[in-house]
Amino acid sequence: MSGKLAIMAGLAIVFGATSYYAGNQYLDRQAQARLDQIESSNRAIETTTVVVADAALSFGDTLDADKLRLISWPKDSMPEGAFTSIEDVIGGGQRRVLKAIARNEPLLAAKLSGEDGRASLSGIIAEGMRAVTIPVDTVKGVGGFVQPGDRVDIVFSQRDRQSGEQTAKIIMENVKVLTIDQQADTVASPQIAKTVTLETDTEGAQKLALASEVGRLSLLLRGLGDEKEVGNAVISLGAEEVGEGGRSVAPKPAVSSASASGTGEGKGGFLSFLNQAQEQKSKTVRVVGGYEVREATVPILEKLEQQRDSEVGE
């Protein structure tokens, strides 16, 4: 019995010593990791200098030392195309701003012209695309709410001189607006523009140039992120739907002379209307809703016929 107790006591001592050693090692590793973390956070971050705008800059602004300043920037997170000295920006020649730069924003080569100082529109046109300018007014330009960078659809409309019919069709979709008049930056308030410059391919530029000569062009402003295709169905209005000045008007309902005379013969006029409709149980009318014109067959109500019979009985 005493031998078994001795064996059990020995095993307990061995297991206890092993657990103590393993626990000690774990705690030592945790403590070392914490110390390494503290030392790493206390270690100085390596920085460099970067050129930023000392004031907001707009398209076409010239750059000089008074508009720029240097700030410290983490070396590991330098933006691509950034400048590390003011001399790098203005030393080789006069540069101009191609895209709006906010105050304290780093100057990037992609937002500046070359050292020849040309702030041309060509600097912001995507590769393989073309810029084309079309005339607009308050209505066609969406009331001045279109801004550079917005996306628009373009509607072409024209009127047939012989038939008087007007047609409208979306000829281009999801077109990027480059400038409003000669302004390539967005503005805080709507502005009424006379021209809009759009970015399109060569075929689109030719289409717009031709369309602006033979008809009218209007802009449809797209919502932010809306890239759905809308199709190019032709909408037309015949001469009878187009009133004076080219405005769409609804047809006026025919009014009988008896009911419109106001001579106290309203009952007779009403009976006359029903008597005329006795042989005609339905009537075809034209319904105009926006650009849509359709015909519908409307049955004459039984209630009106019953009212006529009661009046005849009197």
97 pLDDT band, cuts 50/70/90, is confident
User: In whole angstroms, what is the distance from residue 113 CA to residue 119 CA?
Assistant: 6
pLDDT digits (tens, 9 = 90+) for 214-235: 888 888 898 888 888 887 777 7
Assess if residue 125 is contained within a domain.
Answer: no
> Which domain range does residue 99 map to?
47-119
The answer on 275 and 217 residing in a single domain is no
Assess if residue 124 is contained within a domain.
Answer: no
The answer on 54 and 26 residing in a single domain is no
Assess if residue 84 is contained within a domain.
Answer: yes
Q: Taking Cα atoms as reference points, which of 255, 285, 284, 280 lies closest to residue 270?
A: 255
Q: Which of 72-86, 191-205, 269-283 has the highest mean pLDDT?
A: 72-86
pLDDT digits (tens, 9 = 90+) for 104-134: 999 998 888 776 555 567 777 888 899 998 8
The answer on 193 and 99 residing in a single domain is no
The answer on 73 and 34 residing in a single domain is no
Q: Final residue of a domain: which of 246, 278, 301?
A: 246
Q: Taking Cα atoms as reference points, which of 80, 71, 79 lies closest to residue 103?
A: 71
User: What pTM does this model have?
Assistant: 0.47
The answer on 24 and 6 residing in a single domain is yes
pLDDT for position 252:
47
pLDDT at 71 over 90: yes
User: In whole angstroms, what is the distance from residue 241 CA to residue 251 CA?
Assistant: 8
Please state, for a pLDDT cut of 70, what percent of the chain lies above it. Answer: 64
pLDDT digits (tens, 9 = 90+) for 15-38: 787 887 787 788 888 888 887 777
Q: Final residue of a domain: which of 246, 275, 299?
A: 246
Please state, for a pLDDT cut of 90, what percent of the chain lies above it. Answer: 13
The answer on 140 and 224 residing in a single domain is yes
What's the CATH number where 102 sits?
Answer: 3.90.1210.10
The answer on 64 and 146 residing in a single domain is no
The answer on 221 and 277 residing in a single domain is no
The answer on 52 and 93 residing in a single domain is yes
Q: How many domains does the chain have?
A: 4
pLDDT for position 264:
41
pLDDT for position 198:
92
Q: Final residue of a domain: which of 119, 151, 171?
A: 119
The answer on 81 and 3 residing in a single domain is no
CA distances (Å), origin 150, targets 104, 174, 220, 277? 25, 9, 11, 57
Which range has the worst mean pLDDT, 203-207, 220-224, 230-234, 238-242?
238-242
Determine whether 196 is exposed, middle or buried from the number of CB atoms within 10 Å of its CB (0-12, 13-18, 19+).
Answer: buried
Assess if residue 107 is contained within a domain.
Answer: yes
CB atoms within 10 A of CB 75: 13
3-state secondary structure of 154: strand
Mean pLDDT of 76-105: 86
Tell me phi and psi for residue 268, to 5 degrees: -65, -40
DSSP result, 56-78: -B-TT-B--GGGEEEEEEEGGGP
pLDDT at 58 over 80: yes
User: In whole angstroms, what is the distance from residue 205 CA to residue 74 CA?
Assistant: 45
The answer on 293 and 216 residing in a single domain is no
Mean pLDDT of 277-303: 53
Assess if residue 182 is contained within a domain.
Answer: yes
CA distances (Å), origin 43, targets 11, 74, 108, 285, 311? 48, 13, 30, 86, 104
The answer on 103 and 204 residing in a single domain is no
147 pLDDT band, cuts 50/70/90, is confident
Assess if residue 98 is contained within a domain.
Answer: yes
User: In whole angstroms, what is the distance from residue 77 CA to residue 244 CA?
Assistant: 65
DSSP result, 268-293: HHHHHHHHHTSS-SEEEEEEEETTEE
pLDDT for position 17:
79
